[in-house]
Amino acid sequence: MSMRNFDLRGLDQWIKNLREAGVSMEDELDNWLDAMGMGFLSEIQEQIIRMHVVDTRRLLNSFTRSGSSDHIWRRQMGRLLLEAGTNVEYAQAVNDGHWTKAKKRWINGRPYFDVAFAVFQNLFNAELEAKLRDITERLGPS
């Protein structure tokens, strides 16, 4: 599937400034990132179910943190990377639409991933802003 990214410009500098001030929030941000990733996977699964995507459950079960050889789950705190997705070979065709094997008929996609990303992007941005505000408030006036 194609990659989608959140714009996090300025976050690295903010974390660097905290470190220079002797404040370490990496564990807290790491736990938060983990929770956000799990929330994103749940939203994808919910969209697959809501859109009645025809599936043998392989696609649905691949959007997990572990347990399926088809899942993609990678976290990294430096530059705050979260990669979550699937290696199921038909996932993008289901999302985007595809031609039948004989190329005679177009099958409309069920944009479960696109919808989940759009829904989650709004939530992610609001949650990130709230988390950073919470951390800043706990540090007190500068």
* pLDDT, tens digit, 9 for 90 and up, residues 8-21: 666 667 677 777 76
Res. 142: pLDDT tops 60: no
Nearest by Cα to 47 from 108, 123, 120, 98: 120
**Is there a domain that residue 92 lies in?**
yes
Domain around 104 = 11-132
Domain count, the chain: 1
Q: For the residues 98-119, what does the mean pLDDT come to?
A: 92
**Is there a domain that residue 139 lies in?**
no
Q: For the residues 36-59, what does the mean pLDDT come to?
A: 89
**63, 71 contact by CB (below 8 A):** yes
pTM of the model: 0.77
Res. 99: pLDDT tops 90: yes
Residue type, 49: I
